[in-house]
Amino acid sequence: MLSRTFRLASALVLFAASLVGAPQSARAQESGDGQSAPSQKLELPQREGLTLELGIGASVMALDNAPAEAARDNVGLAPLSLGIGGFLSPDVALTFRMTGTSSFRDRGAGLEQTVLGFYGPSLQYFVSDDLFVSGGVGLGLLAHNPFLASESRVKVTPMESRVGFAGNARIGWNFLKTKGAGLVLYAEATPARLEDVTAFGMAVGLGFQSY
């Protein structure tokens, strides 16, 4: 009876700790007294197989040697990001990510948006169940959003798209998690060299990741 009560109390403590984001891992439990019940292990994230990531937030972007048509040095939207891939181990995932930053500008023809995008592989490493870092190198794209501009009051020339190389580095806090998914607060940086333009974008946002 005492043993059952102890196991039940332990399970409740673990569940409460997971809700407030206390950094505990399955390996830490297994390296303890070896008496963890299977129901307790199921409360912890089970990172394996396919993973899907989504995110959106706010961003700032700076452009060096940018064309006059580009919106630059302004706060903007971090467009919807997408990542899809799989876990190589419980701590490491390899995904293909599409993410970026943007800036807004009004030159008299309605609101315009210049987008800096990153498209490429990203290696994600979970330092703990609560914290991860990721990074990758891939294709960079600087372009005008053709769907945003309002009806023109003044004729303006859209910025020509530029393609080059970009990197992406990210850190995330998994503040709410279950066995198969988590909600994440993240910050990321995207430096890029796009033909004759050097760009740097930073974003903070809210994300979701399934395991």
Residue 5 burial by Cβ neighbours in a 10 Å radius (0-12, 13-18, 19+): exposed
CA distances 37 to 90, 116, 155, 172, 175, Å, are: 20, 48, 69, 30, 25
Handedness of CA 79, 86, 121, 146 (dihedral sign): negative
- Dump pLDDT digits (tens) for 184-205: 999 999 999 998 889 999 999 9
Per-residue confidence band for 15, with pLDDT thresholds at 50, 70 and 90: very low
- The number of helix segments (H) and strand segments (E) in the chain equals 3, 8
Residue with tokens 């102890």: 6
- Dump pLDDT digits (tens) for 57-96: 999 988 887 665 555 557 788 999 999 999 999 999 999 9
CA distances 56 to 102, 114, 134, 165, Å, are: 12, 16, 17, 22
Predicted pLDDT at 158: 56
DSSP strand pairing (162-177 vs 181-194): antiparallel
Start-to-end CA distance of the chain, whole Å, equals 36
Angle at 162 between CA 205 and CA 192, to 5 degrees: 50
pTM of the model: 0.73
Q: Which of 12, 6, 63 is nearest to 33 (CA)?
A: 6
